[in-house]
Amino acid sequence: MKIDVTQHCDIDVNLLKNIIEIKSVAWPYSVANQIKWLSTNLKTSDFHVLLNDHGSYVAYLNLIHIDILIDEISKPALGLGNVCAKERGKNYGTELMKSTNDFLLENKRPGLLFCKEETIGFYSKCDWEVIPKAKIKVSFDSPKIAAMSFNLGNQYSKINYCGVSF
């Protein structure tokens, strides 16, 4: 298995169909709503990451370009969202996350994600670290949402993120 990374500006109709097919397993919205969400929430430079298993796409996530303030110093990062797979129990999500971690390391970028408390265990197994609520400030309401990071370390006092949830 390997990942295919495509910038949003480079997706074609066939890739879009694959993305929507995978996303629809987790979020059963209409094709029109899926397309609208992607076009509204992703910039042309953002990434679609798909796990390819012998020529078939089986898992998906997106990475968006964000800026975070770490102890008041701006740092470019990638926000990870929409992690989903066609089937559960086949380790597609784990494979996708581990390959995405390699992508983040190769590109020297930290990753940030927001997740429900019940999914922290999955992301922790994929080497992501919980950011204590006292150490992160976000610009949206997030009482039941955890923040996690990869390739960031923990030598910081405060992280500020002033963007949308992804």
132 inside domain: yes
- The pLDDT of residue 117: 93
Residue 73 placed within a domain: yes
Cβ-contact 156, 71 below 8 angstroms: yes
Residue 166 within any structural domain of the chain: no
Q: What is the pLDDT of residue 64?
A: 97
**97 domain-assigned:** yes
pTM of the model: 0.94
Tally of domains in the chain: 1
Q: What is the CATH number of the domain that holds 9?
A: 3.40.630.30
Domain boundaries, position 43: 2-161
What was the pLDDT predicted at 164? 82
Q: 80 in a domain, yes or no?
A: yes
In a domain, 37, yes or no: yes
pLDDT by 10-residue block (mean), the chain, 166 residues: 97 96 93 92 96 97 97 97 95 98 98 96 98 93 88 93 87
Which of 19, 11, 14, 63 is closest to 42 using CA atoms? 63
Does 154 map to a domain? yes
Q: From residue 32, give the alpha-carbon distance in Å to each of 48, 56, 58, 61, 63.
A: 18, 23, 21, 19, 21
